[in-house]
C-alpha cells in the first residue's frame, strides 16, 4: 500500500472514531439509564400501598427517589444537548 492509501485509511478511522465517541458519550448513557430507572421507580412509588409508605415512616421513598432520578437523567440529557461533544479538528489543523 502506498502512503496515500495509509493516510486515507487513517482519516477514515478518525472520522469513525469521532462518530463513535459522540454516540457513546458518557452523558448520554448516564442520562438514559437514570431516566429509564427513574420512570420504573416513579411508577413503583405511584402504585405503592399504604403498608409500603408506613414502612418508610410515612414517606413515599420510591416516588421521591424516582423523581430525583428523572431530574438527574433530564439534567444529563439537557447538558448533552446544550454542550455536544465537539468534532475533532481537521487533519490540517492538528499539531504534528
The whole-angstrom separation of Cα 11 and Cα 92 is 11
Contact criterion met (CB below 8 Å) for 69 and 41: yes
Query: What is the reported pLDDT for 9?
Result: 72
Q: The whole model's pTM is what?
A: 0.68
Query: What is the reported pLDDT for 70?
Result: 98
Largest CA distance in the chain: 74
Size (the chain), residues: 96
Per-residue pLDDT of the chain (96 residues; tens, 9 = 90+): 566 676 777 677 666 665 666 667 889 999 999 999 999 999 999 999 999 999 999 999 999 999 999 999 999 999 999 988 776 666 665 555
Q: Which residue has the cell 431516566?
A: 35
The whole-angstrom separation of Cα 19 and Cα 50 is 49
Amino acid at each position: 500500500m502506498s502512503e496515500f492509501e495509509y493516510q486515507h485509511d487513517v482519516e477514515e478511522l478518525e472520522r469513525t472514531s469521532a462518530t463513535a465517541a459522540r454516540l457513546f458519550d458518557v452523558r448520554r448513557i448516564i442520562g438514559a439509564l437514570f431516566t429509564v430507572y427513574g420512570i420504573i421507580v416513579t411508577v413503583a412509588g405511584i402504585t405503592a400501598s399504604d403498608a409500603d409508605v408506613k414502612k418508610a415512616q410515612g414517606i413515599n421513598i420510591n416516588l421521591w427517589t424516582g423523581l430525583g432520578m428523572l431530574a438527574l437523567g433530564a439534567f444529563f440529557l439537557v447538558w448533552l444537548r446544550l454542550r455536544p461533544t465537539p468534532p475533532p479538528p481537521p487533519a490540517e489543523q492538528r499539531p504534528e
